Amino acid sequence: MIYVDGINEYHPKDAHTRRWGNKWSHMWTDGDLEELHAMAEKLGLKRDYFQNHIFLPHYDLIPKKRELAIKKGATPVSLKSWIRKKRSCEEPS
């Protein structure tokens, strides 16, 4: 499944922000990364945009791309709530 969080406003002073603006969301998966890359391709994103972070491999999406991702089947969810749910599922009973 592919997920997108809400639009957040960032203020880092790096090339990424200067290029795309300071509002974006994250797109990630709880499954196979190929599923994530396939969705990114449907959105017209370059594979170079993929951020292979240890905890949350993801793509950053500008607002229009987030909207398109949802139209193509991504599930909107709060990243914080998704992390809490994931952690609770991983904790031993």
- For 13-57, the pLDDT digits (tens) are 655 555 556 788 999 999 899 999 999 999 999 999 999 998 899
At 40, which CATH number? 3.30.780
Tell me which residue range forms the domain holding 46: 2-90
CA angle in degrees (0–180, nearest 5) for 16-12-70: 60
For the chain, how many structural domains are there in total?
1
Q: Which pTM does this prediction carry?
A: 0.81
Beta strands 59-61 and 2-4 are: unpaired
The whole-angstrom separation of Cα 91 and Cα 87 is 6
